Each structure stands twice: as C-alpha cells, then as structure tokens.
Amino acid sequence: MSERKLFFDTVDTPKGEFIITFNETGIYEVLFPGRTLAEIVDTAKLPWSNLEDDFKRYFSGEAVEWTEYPLDCSGYGRFTTALLKEVSKIPWGQTCSYREAAELAGSPLAWRAAGQALAANRHPIIVPCHRVIGSNRKLGGFSGPAGWKEMLLELEGGFNGALSFRR
C-alpha cells in the first residue's frame, strides 16, 4: 500500500460501481465492481472532475484518452513501470501480445514476466492491460473479474480471437 495518505471515492458506471483510491500523487488503485478496499481509507471527492464522466463514456462504448490522469506508480519495479507505460499507449480497439509488450518495455525475452507485471496493474481500464493477449491470439490472464477481459475487448470493437496487433 502507498506510504502516502490514501483517500477513496466511487465511480458509478453502466457496469457497476468502481472504487478509486488516490493520494496527492495521483490515482493509486482502481477496484472493479464487487471488490472491496484492503484497508480502511478516508473518503474524499475525486480531484479530477471528469474522471467519473470518462468512465461512463468508456463503458458506453466511447474511446477515452486517459493520459490526463496522474497515476501513483509507487511500489512498482523498473520493468513493471516501463511495461505499464508502454501498455498505456495501446490504442482503443487494438491489442498487442505479451511478447511485444515486453519488447516495447525494453526486455524482449521477458514475456512471462510481462504477464506477471500486468497482473499487478493497480490501474485497470486507465492502463489497459486487457489489451494484451497471447501471441496465439488467446486472451491470456486478467486480474479483473471473470469474463471482464473479453467484455472490455468486445466493448472496444468485438473480440473474435483476431484483434489487430499494434505494430
């Protein structure tokens, strides 16, 4: 958990209520509907007035640019930080493989480590780890609720096992 004081607020979407934890650095964690906070934190209004609207727009099928929202990436190692930065650049409706993501992060042989690092992503949706799939075009793992990775990919343009790779 962050060493900085954390706050939380909720964001209502067509897919349920997300919990957003944050501090003065930025968004610390995005929790899917049905998930609960691991520790007690104070409630506070989100300092980003458009965040809730952007989540609603996203879950209504609209492409959203998340780069204006600061993220607290404390606790991530160098590779995870680099990987999440690269994954953040995958455009709406496109995917890349774990191998390609590892390569973009500067470690072309670390594709398994890429999967583990993405499982630790505390910023799902904002850092679209759901857009990273296997080289065989299978979905691969996802730290969110069962069925959400496929649902998010379908929301972004229909998952048929052959989404376009980012090249």
Query: What's the pLDDT band for 53 if we cut at 50, 70, 90?
Result: very high
Average pLDDT score over residue span 147-157: 93
What is the model's pLDDT at position 40?
76
What is the model's pLDDT at position 1?
55
Taking the CA atoms of residue 94, residue 105, residue 54 and residue 144 in that order, the dihedral angle to the nearest 10 degrees is 80
**Does 89 lie in the same domain as 55?**
no
**Does 149 lie in the same domain as 104?**
yes
Is 40 exposed, middle or buried, given 0-12, 13-18 or 19+ CB atoms closer than 10 A?
exposed
pLDDT in tens, 67-96: 999 999 999 999 999 999 999 999 998 999
The CATH number for 118's domain is 1.10.10.10
Q: In the block, which residue shows the tokens 């052959």?
A: 162
Catalytic residue positions, numbered? 129
Residues 6+ apart with CB under 8 A from 1: 38, 39
Provide the domain limits for residue 146: 78-155
Average pLDDT score over residue span 23-35: 95
**Does 106 lie in the same domain as 46?**
no
